[in-house]
Amino acid sequence: MWDRIKEKLGILADSAKYDVSCASSGSKRKNENKGLGNASNGICHAYTEDGRCVSLLKILLTNHCIYDCAYCVSRRSNDVKRAAFTVQEVVDLTINFYRRNYIEGLFLSSGIFKNADYTMERLVLVAKKLRTEHNFNGYIHLKLVPGASKELVEQAGQFADRLSVNIEIPTEEGLRLLAPDKKREDMLHPMRVLKNAIDESADRGPRPSSLALPAAASPAKSRLFAPAGQSTQMVIGATAEPDLTILKIADAFYKKMKLRRVYYSGYVPISTDNRLPAIGTPVPLIRENRLYQADWLIRWYGFSVDELLSANQPSLDMEIDPKLAWALQNLHVFPLDINTADLLLLKRIPGIGLQSAERIVQARRYSPLHWDQLKKMGVAINRARYFIICKGLPQQPKDYAAEQIRQFILSAGHSKYHPNFSPQLALFQ
Amino acid sequence: MNTVIYDGTFEGWLSTVFEVYERRLDDVRIIENDAPSLFGNSITITSDEAKAHRVWKGLCARISINAAKQLYRSFLSEEKGREDHLLAYARYALSAKLSIEYDYAHPSVRYVIDTDKKVRREKHRMEAFVRFALTADQIYYATVSPDFNVLPLIRRHFEQRYADQRWLIYDTHRKYGIYYDLHQTLPVTIEPANPACPADPACPADPSLPDSPNPIFTPDETQYQDLWRHYFQKVNIGARKNLKLHLRHMPTRYWKYLPEKRPSL
Ligand code: SF4
């Protein structure tokens, strides 16, 4: 029996791994009535040799699929070994891994067998069993099957912490080319259903503590509806969309669908299909990293897509990060005085991250900050120096041209500014 | 120079701060009592709950609860000389009218923030890298040897998460553990029956043991470890290999506890 399970686990983990999301944070599910687990902090329990976080048991229920999307290993026409877990097998694996502190929970996806609803029903059943039969409060991320009915999407939200529909191919044209049986609308529909349901439950849900209802009135648990929200993934480099298009789409997802995260997954060549990059083509890791950086700038640093890219310049700079690129194009904003500049502007200085910007604002209330102190507060001074004014600066900023600064910074420390490939890490200082 | 000797506990350190103020000592050096007593001219402080409490209350009146926790965690770093740095921090905090906790430019504030950061990182690593193995008598058992004394810090996390299973986390370096019996968590010590394995013959950390059938564990234990190891290998994407990043996140010194990093059968 163990050998069978092991073989299935191998096949169904192997085909699930191209989904890069592994987030297990952002929920607020507590352990109730001395049950098992909680979902709040999002711990990485291990890291693969490619440096990615392993936080969830990420598997497919089955890799049988009636569709034939060219970019997917599970596509109908691909000659791979197929397998399927039973609902109970997934439940047992999750519980036993969780109890040993291997994982934060389950990320369950699936190839589509029979039809969308038939598949979705089984995914929901796994989550339901975990919650109701095992009093499991760990993290559950369910993939929504494109085309799944409104009822099933809503049920999924009652048991899962996060739900996601992967858009995969950013544009409609790309989709038509690579996944002719799939319609963009089939993916957008469950997203919209979910957005509405999440909005509604937020209206109904517990307000900040002062207005909390008596606990007996309605247990908090029954009100939780996909507390970690929804996310999606786009494959990068399988089709020809420029970064500008990709970021515009992501931005619209954040704003209109209120997605928590958009993931970018550099295409890993897995097919000889000539509509796609050939096997052996390198995975666009640097580009993927730059997209994550730009995404962070948009979500946390107050940048808009239009500030970073334009029709004339639709691609991110591969040599330097997008924040430095922006600064070099906007030298008129600098130099900024460390002791007086607004938090919002401090955050825009290359070499100063969110945390150091906040620290600067707090520390300068005690006494004006000196260059030496800045160094010790976590500021990457070798980049920041070209953009700031501060007492004790070894050299007052000269009127360097953007190109000169770029060269200084690039030659200053190769290893340090070498792109970091992990989607979990933001690379700004 | 006044050398003060205390018992190495946090309560002892707080009592020391009390005495430093009470006796108006300055230029103080605080030493833990297990260090060789080369100091003829020293003062020995005994822990005193009431005095410690007064100092703690005094500190909490001047700094936020968050900063007080930072101070406590820095103490658990067991770093040499921390007692003196923390004394300087306490003096600064107690002397100022406003909370000093955000004065990142001040050396002792920075010491606390930086040390706390290291301790918290180790705490998070333990929450991540503890691997339980289920013993035949139904206890989820794990051994660790963290860089800092973080068991007091991870207790709550494990209590909240694993409320319906009995578990024991044993620090082989400091020779004590915490045991949750479904009602409360208690500190425990284990007499090592087998000196080769630091804590116990049941120690799942001994790389020679886990894969051989071990009567101490449930029969399924080896199977689940094997499944987990298999899973870990399968989720890797060869085309994205980045060993440097892997090692930064999972330093080799933790591997001995991780079934997924042990060679398979
Ligand atoms: S429907 Fe999903 S599983 Fe099936 S081939 Fe397309 S992407 Fe792959």
B244 vs A: CB within 8 A: yes
Task: Show residues of chain A in contact with B238, CB under 8 Å.
Answer: 50
CA distance A294 to B219: 50
**Which residues 77-136 of chain A have a CB within 8 Å of chain B?**
93, 96-97, 99-102, 135
- What is the tens place of the pLDDT at every residue in A50-101? 777 889 999 999 999 999 998 888 999 999 999 999 999 999 999 999 999 9
CA distance B131 to B170: 11
Ligand 1 atom, smallest distance to A109 CA: 3
Could you tell me which chain A residue has the CA closest to the CA of B105? A373
**Lowest-pLDDT choice from A117-126, A378-387, B13-22, B31-40:** B31-40
pLDDT reported for residue A214: 43
pLDDT score of A398 more than 90: no
Across A159-186, average pLDDT: 89
Q: Which of A182, A174, A165 is nearest to A67 (CA)?
A: A182
Measured CA to CA in angstroms, residue A41 lies from A105, A207, B74, B157 at distances of: 12, 21, 22, 10
CA distance A293 to A288: 9
Q: How far is the CA of A81 from the centre of ligand 1 (A)?
A: 15
- Residue A322 in tokens: 């997008």
- pLDDT by residue for chain B (265 residues), tens only, comes to 888 999 999 999 999 999 999 999 988 999 988 655 566 678 899 999 999 999 999 999 999 999 999 999 999 999 999 999 999 999 999 998 888 988 888 999 999 999 999 999 999 999 999 999 999 989 999 999 999 999 999 999 999 999 999 999 999 999 999 999 999 999 998 765 544 444 444 454 444 444 445 568 898 999 999 999 999 988 877 777 777 877 888 888 888 888 887 765 4
pLDDT reported for residue A378: 84
Helix (H, G, I), strand (E, B) or coil at A232: strand
Q: How far is the CA of A182 from the centre of ligand 1 (A)?
A: 9
pLDDT reported for residue A157: 94
pLDDT reported for residue A203: 75
Task: Show residues of chain B in contact with A93, CB under 8 Å.
Answer: 227
- What is the tens place of the pLDDT at every residue in A211-259? 444 444 444 445 789 999 999 999 998 888 999 999 999 999 999 999 9
A28 vs B: CB within 8 A: no
Examine the domain organization and report whether A192 and A309 are in the same domain. no
pLDDT score of A420 more than 50: no
Across A350-365, average pLDDT: 92
Residue A274's pLDDT band, with cuts at 50, 70 and 90, is confident
- What is the tens place of the pLDDT at every residue in B199-210? 444 454 444 444
Examine the domain organization and report whether A222 and A317 are in the same domain. no
Examine the domain organization and report whether A191 and A246 are in the same domain. yes
CA distance A315 to A310: 8
Count of beta carbons in the 10 Å neighbourhood of residue B184: 8
Pairing of strands B167-171, B176-180: antiparallel
pLDDT reported for residue B76: 96
**Which residues 175-214 of chain B have a CB within 8 Å of chain A?**
182
Examine the domain organization and report whether A223 and A325 are in the same domain. no
Helix (H, G, I), strand (E, B) or coil at B82: helix
Strands annotated E in A252-357: 261-266, 336-337
Q: Across the interface, do A51 and B230 touch by the CB < 8 Å criterion?
A: no
Q: What is the CATH number of the domain that holds A223?
A: 3.20.20
Examine the domain organization and report whether A274 and A323 are in the same domain. no
CA distance A246 to A234: 8
Task: Show residues of chain A in contact with B228, CB under 8 Å.
Answer: 97, 100, 102
**Lowest-pLDDT choice from A14-28, A163-177, A290-304, B188-202:** B188-202
User: Which of B104, B132, B261 is the best substitution to test chain A (most A C-beta atoms within 10 A)?
Assistant: B104
Please check whether residue A261 lies inside any domain of the structure.
Answer: yes
Q: Which of A291, A270, A281 is nearest to A423 (CA)?
A: A291
**Which residues 363-422 of chain A have a CB within 8 Å of chain B?**
363, 365-367, 369-370, 373, 376-377, 420-422
Pairing of strands A53-54, A162-164: unpaired
Q: How far is the CA of A312 from the centre of ligand 1 (A)?
A: 35
Q: Across the interface, do B134 and A99 touch by the CB < 8 Å criterion?
A: yes
Total domains, chain A:
2
Examine the domain organization and report whether A394 and A267 are in the same domain. no
- What is the tens place of the pLDDT at every residue in A32-43? 888 898 887 788
Q: Across the interface, do A49 and B243 touch by the CB < 8 Å criterion?
A: yes
pLDDT score of A265 more than 80: yes
Phi, psi of A61 (to 5 degrees): -70, -40
Please check whether residue A117 lies inside any domain of the structure.
Answer: yes
Q: What is the DSSP letter of B98?
A: S
Examine the domain organization and report whether A140 and A194 are in the same domain. yes
CA distance A215 to A201: 17
Mean pLDDT of chain A, nearest integer? 86
CA distance A66 to A150: 21
- HSE at residue B162, side-chain half, CA atoms within 13 A, is 30
A19 lies in which domain range?
A: 2-283
CA distance A152 to A50: 35
CA distance A425 to A274: 34
Measured CA to CA in angstroms, residue A276 lies from A53, A235, A236, A269 at distances of: 28, 12, 12, 8
Please check whether residue A53 lies inside any domain of the structure.
Answer: yes
Q: Which of A210, A291, A219 is nearest to A29 (CA)?
A: A219
Examine the domain organization and report whether A219 and A361 are in the same domain. no
User: Which of A55, A80, A102 is the best substitution to test chain B (most B C-beta atoms within 10 A)?
Assistant: A102
pLDDT reported for residue B38: 62
Examine the domain organization and report whether A278 and A309 are in the same domain. no
